[in-house]
Amino acid sequence: MLDQISVGFKKSLKLASSILFVCSGNLFGQVDHWETIIYDTSSWRYSVPNASTSMNWIQPGFDASTWNTGNGGFGFADGDDGTVIPTSSISVFARKEFTISDLSLIKKLILNMDYDDAFVAYINGVEVARNGITSTGQPAYNQLGEISHEAKLYQNQYPDQYYFDISNFPAPLVQGVNVICVEVHNQTAASSDLTCRPFLSVGLNSTTVSYYPTPTWFIAPVVLSTSTLPIVVLNTNNVEIPDEPKIHATMGIIFNGDGNINTISDPYNEFYGEIGIERRGSSSNGFPMKSYGLETWGPDSSNYNASIFDWPSDNDWILYAPYTDKSLIRNVLTYHIGNEMGNYSPRTKLCEVVLNNEYIGVYVFMERIKINPGRVNINPVLPQDTLENELTGGYIVKVDKTTAGGIVAWTSPHLASSPSNATIKYQLHDPEINELQPSQLAYIQNYITAWEDTLAGNNFMDPVDGFRKFIDVQSFIDFMLVNELSKNVDGYRISTFLHKKRFSEGGKLVAGPLWDFNLGWGNANYCYGGDTTGWEIDFNNYCAGGLDNPFWWKRMLQDSAYADEVSCRWFNLRNSILRTDYLTAYIDSLAAVLEIPAARNYSKWPILGTYVWPNNFIGQTYQEEIDFMKNWMIGRLTWMDNHMFGSCTNVGIENKTSNSITFYPNPATSELKISGLVGNDQLIIRDALGKLIHQFNVSSQSTIDLSNLQNGLYFIELLQNKTTTKIILNR
């Protein structure tokens, strides 16, 4: 019922957005160049306010002649201040009159604000921007900021930016004299720093020089008019998006279908509605390009499910910013491989994003990992599920950093892989730890600990009572192979998810979903992440330091039968979805679609040719970044072919079978038969590029109909028997 409500809600909002957008016109009019009207170092009237300071100080007619005069910025003499104010000050008020010579020439405005810790800005008595003070109206002079916000410019970072179109600017600008007023508030009365450095710049549709040059750090906004990617438009009414909690916003998505052009003036035909949005990420939260977590909301700010890009309906989404991944596609490629392997990985869609009328670059719109029929498809454990089968699943746990607010649920009694003596710490992802009953937490902890105890014991290789009793073996093999192929320096020890099914669903622990591979594929310049050689499971041998690889991966490989399964799975995949030509063709297809969007992204974020942590390779062009990743991948594939664990008898990359199963006739005309198959299996047909064509159940009695396929090369794969072979269709 909830999904039905959300679909109707989505359709009505799409219609409303079409009407609203047509009425509002194109928000991205032409700008010839940018100039600055007000610098932080301009002469300002300022005051350290007290209880007697008039609330009318933000109004154009206020008499500030008794206020002090000083050059900005204002602060506590910590190196970025033109005027020093007393260190006991909780806040500072600053006013500056400015003259607009020809209002008709101004099409855009940008307020850049460098501050510590919170601020509110007004133009002609109307609020235009604020951050760190959530209450409405003018704050009291002694109100403390609600966040700790460090100034940016002294760190050679870009100051916060508020971008406006003149047609919907909240303040009424006038030709002639206007006034900007800014108040900055400290987070604590005993703070050792305060910073107030405002800049006001305008975008002009004329070649005439009317004001002053922009600061050297100023980057002119990129104009987005059309794109080959979906366009995601976010609006927070210029409220800065916090790390948490989520704030109210709206989101519209323009998507006219793959291969079609999307125009910023098109109606929001894929989605339009209310959302809650917050910043996300750990180390990535410090980059200028932010990633966001969002929920689709209804009018009452409760979660509403929506099907976006025809994906399964849900309300949890992520806009991932591939800032350090200059190919823009490392996560997209990895999750594509995961899904092609037959395991759930988050669905992705490359897109371009506009936030509060400002273009902010190429993003990856993707699913958040959670229990849901369209995502991790296991029965969830509910608060009342404390007995028997219902207690046994489902849980998603992870091994990860805690810097993004994670809570350690328990610590393994076993240490990380030798020679490390680090501990293995588990977190609950879904449900979160505060949503579990004590008996539920005890169950999942005891189950995983029993697996680890068995794995660490002498009888761990026993086919019945060994480690296999607890886990879905192929999921662990696939998880390892993807981490090794990408040589993910964060692999195994960070962002490693495991999920547990109920006994009625098989009951075992499954590795995955895959998550966070932006530092893989040769992108990291530490811990040998840029090398195409060496195994990532050996990370602890040369790069141990606190967050180290769990012991499971190397221990399982000590079982020769498991190592042989790894080998057979690898070479089966190398003959289908991990074929070199298939992977390079897929990368090239993404790069072709991204050619123009990538150029726009790197105009917004001009980091090509410069080092951004932790780049191993620094390309001068986007194509160089793509070429490096492809060449690195080819080298990695070759090394793994030559050094793979275990053995798969008489199996090579060109023809690999792990048993006596054969398909005949080959070449085929209209049908194919199977010989040597015992029982049932899942059969997959892929084309020459590895694209999935068909998937169905087969037995030794099956006849496979090929009459609807064109002549050419195809790959036939049996999932349970780990068999892949080539067939030629030639009528």
Confidence (pTM): 0.79
Distance separating alpha carbons of residues 452 and 471, to the nearest angstrom: 11
**Identity (one letter) of the amino acid at 16?**
A
Distance separating alpha carbons of residues 313 and 335, to the nearest angstrom: 19
Secondary structure E strands in 14-168: 33-38, 43-47, 68-71, 74-75, 83-84, 91-100, 106-116, 118-123, 126-131, 160-165
Report the pLDDT value the prediction gives residue 714, as an integer from 0 to 100: 83
Distance separating alpha carbons of residues 250 and 119, to the nearest angstrom: 23
**Coil/strand/helix, residue 3:** helix
CB 123 within 8 A of CB 163: no
| Cα-trace Rg, the chain | 29
% of the chain at pLDDT higher than 90: 74
Judged by average pLDDT, the poorest of 167-171, 408-412, 516-520 is 167-171
Is the bond preceding 667 in cis, omega lying within 30 degrees of 0?
yes
CB 250 within 8 A of CB 272: yes
Report the pLDDT value the prediction gives residue 688, as an integer from 0 to 100: 66
The yes-or-no verdict on residue 239 having pLDDT over 70 is yes
Distance separating alpha carbons of residues 715 and 709, to the nearest angstrom: 13
The predicted-structure confidence for 36-50, as pLDDT tens digits, reads as follows 999 999 999 999 999
Distance separating alpha carbons of residues 583 and 336, to the nearest angstrom: 10
Report the pLDDT value the prediction gives residue 288, as an integer from 0 to 100: 86
Mean pLDDT of the chain: 90
Strand order in the sheet with 423-430: 408-415, 423-430, 395-399, 496-500, 509-511
Q: What are phi and psi of 253, to 5 degrees?
A: -125, 125
Residue 240: both structure tokens together: 């800065």
Please give the residue that has the higher pLDDT: either 26 or 217: 217
H helix or E strand, kind and range, residue 7? helix 2-24
**Coil/strand/helix, residue 434:** helix
Closest CA to 289 of 243, 320, 318: 320
Domains and CATH numbers, the chain: 2-26+222-367 (no CATH), 33-204 (2.60.120.260), 388-558 (no CATH), 662-729 (2.60.40.3080)
**Coil/strand/helix, residue 366:** strand
Secondary structure E strands in 340-399: 348-355, 358-367, 395-399
Report the pLDDT value the prediction gives residue 675, as an integer from 0 to 100: 77
% of the chain at pLDDT higher than 70: 94
Distance separating alpha carbons of residues 324 and 613, to the nearest angstrom: 7
Cβ burial, residue 192 (10 Å; 0-12/13-18/19+): exposed
Question: Can you count the helices (H) and strands (E) in the chain?
Answer: 10, 33
Average pLDDT over residues 343-355: 97
Average pLDDT over residues 469-488: 97
The yes-or-no verdict on residue 281 having pLDDT over 70 is yes
Report the pLDDT value the prediction gives residue 276, as an integer from 0 to 100: 97
Report the pLDDT value the prediction gives residue 546, as an integer from 0 to 100: 78
Distances (CA, A) of 643 to 475, 647, 723: 21, 10, 21
Distance separating alpha carbons of residues 369 and 178, to the nearest angstrom: 50
The angle formed by the CA atoms of residues 336, 338 and 340, to the nearest 5 degrees, is: 70
Confidence of residue 679 (pLDDT cuts 50, 70, 90): confident
Distance separating alpha carbons of residues 53 and 46, to the nearest angstrom: 12
Distance separating alpha carbons of residues 448 and 498, to the nearest angstrom: 10
The yes-or-no verdict on residue 24 having pLDDT over 70 is no
Strands 83-84 and 74-75: parallel
CB 617 within 8 A of CB 656: no
The yes-or-no verdict on residue 291 having pLDDT over 80 is yes
Report the pLDDT value the prediction gives residue 15, as an integer from 0 to 100: 36
Report the pLDDT value the prediction gives residue 18, as an integer from 0 to 100: 36
Report the pLDDT value the prediction gives residue 3, as an integer from 0 to 100: 39
Secondary structure E strands in 526-610: none
The predicted-structure confidence for 68-81, as pLDDT tens digits, reads as follows 999 999 999 877 78
CB 673 within 8 A of CB 706: no
Average pLDDT over residues 275-280: 96
The yes-or-no verdict on residue 126 having pLDDT over 90 is yes
Residue 607: both structure tokens together: 């980091």
The predicted-structure confidence for 620-669, as pLDDT tens digits, reads as follows 999 999 999 999 999 999 999 999 999 986 444 444 444 568 787 887 88
Judged by average pLDDT, the poorest of 14-28, 321-335, 342-356, 594-608 is 14-28
Report the pLDDT value the prediction gives residue 660, as an integer from 0 to 100: 64
Distance separating alpha carbons of residues 583 and 589, to the nearest angstrom: 10
The predicted-structure confidence for 144-185, as pLDDT tens digits, reads as follows 999 888 999 998 888 998 989 888 889 999 999 999 999 999
Distance separating alpha carbons of residues 731 and 713, to the nearest angstrom: 12
- How many other CB atoms are there within 10 angstroms of residue 464's CB atom? 7
The predicted-structure confidence for 683-716, as pLDDT tens digits, reads as follows 889 876 667 788 888 887 788 888 888 887 788 8
Report the pLDDT value the prediction gives residue 333, as an integer from 0 to 100: 98
Strand order in the sheet with 712-718: 692-698, 681-686, 712-718, 723-729
The yes-or-no verdict on residue 2 having pLDDT over 50 is no
Confidence of residue 25 (pLDDT cuts 50, 70, 90): very low
647-648-653-657 Cα dihedral, nearest 10 degrees:
180
* Lookup result for tokens 């501990």: 423
Cβ burial, residue 512 (10 Å; 0-12/13-18/19+): buried
H helix or E strand, kind and range, residue 444? helix 438-456
Residue 613: both structure tokens together: 């942590």
The yes-or-no verdict on residue 28 having pLDDT over 70 is no
Residue 480: both structure tokens together: 């390892």
Report the pLDDT value the prediction gives residue 26, as an integer from 0 to 100: 39
CB 717 within 8 A of CB 690: no
